[in-house]
Every structure is written in structure tokens, then in C-alpha cells.
A = this chain, B = another copy of it.
Amino acid sequence: MPDTSRELDALVQLSFEVQLVLTRVAAEFDLSVTQLRLLGILRDRTPTMAQIADFLQLDRSSISGLIDRAERRDLVARHASESDARVTLVELTETGRAVGVEISRAVTRELGGKLEHVAAKDLAAVVRIIEQLAP
């Protein structure tokens, strides 16, 4: 087994650089990174509370407050499932969708700017890594 400590350090450091960009972009919109992720998840899904918990790898009890706060800001809306009265579905509002689009643009701008001088073939490697990691 080869020594990969340098590679692992680089990966950890890179993840913090990316998180820093996300934190800053979220702050521009007065949102947390978690709320930013939520908007991303809801872009092409209308999940249940439990499914959101699975996506974010958080306890279900944490999701109630998360959605409460997003709902209070008119970013998302709860509605009842028709097939199972226990289930609550969550979807983006128009406002939420619009904010999501703006955030996506901002992330592309900020992160794209940082990566301007990175070789295209190195970025292609990142795509392969994530395909291996989360297929």
C-alpha cells in the first residue's frame, strides 16, 4: 500500500477551500451552507422529510427546524402526501427556486474564478474521483 498522506492532506485542504467559498456565497444570501444544500436538493426533487434527512445525513428531528426556518423565509413549502397521511413532502417555492438559481450562478462565478488557472485535465480527475466515490 502506497503512502497517500500527501494526497489525503490535499483532499482535505481542498474540501475546506470549497466549503469556504460555499460559506461565503451562502452568507451573501444570508443563508447557512445547510440551507444552500437544501435548495440544491430540492431543485429537482420533492422529497419527504425523511428523505431530506437521508440526503443531508442528519437526524430527522434536525430537519423539522431546518424546514421551519426555510419556510419562514418563503424558500420552501410543506404539503401533505396524498397516499400516506403521516408523510410531509417539501418543495421549493418560486422564491426558493429563484434564489437557488442565483446561488448556483454565484458558486460558479466564485469557484470558477478560483479554478481559473487549474488545468482542465486535473479537474477531469475530480469528476472521475467522485464517480468512484459516490457512484
Contacts and interface: CB of A to CB of B under 8 A. Distances in A.
A17 interface: yes
Contacts of A20: 57
Given A122-B128, A126-B11, A133 B115 contact: yes
A17 B130 contact: yes
Interface residues of A, number: 44
A19 B19 contact: yes
Contacts of A119: 128
A13 interface: yes
A65 interface: no
A5 B101 CA distance: 13
Contact of A122 (B2, B107, B120, B129): B129
**For A17, A108, A128, A130, which residue has the most chain B Cβ atoms within 10 angstroms?**
A130
B129 A126 contact: yes
Nearest to A127: B10
Nearest to A19: B15
Given A8-B115, A13-B134, A14-B126, 7 more contacts: A4-B123, A7-B115, A7-B126, A14-B18, A14-B133, A15-B15, A115-B129
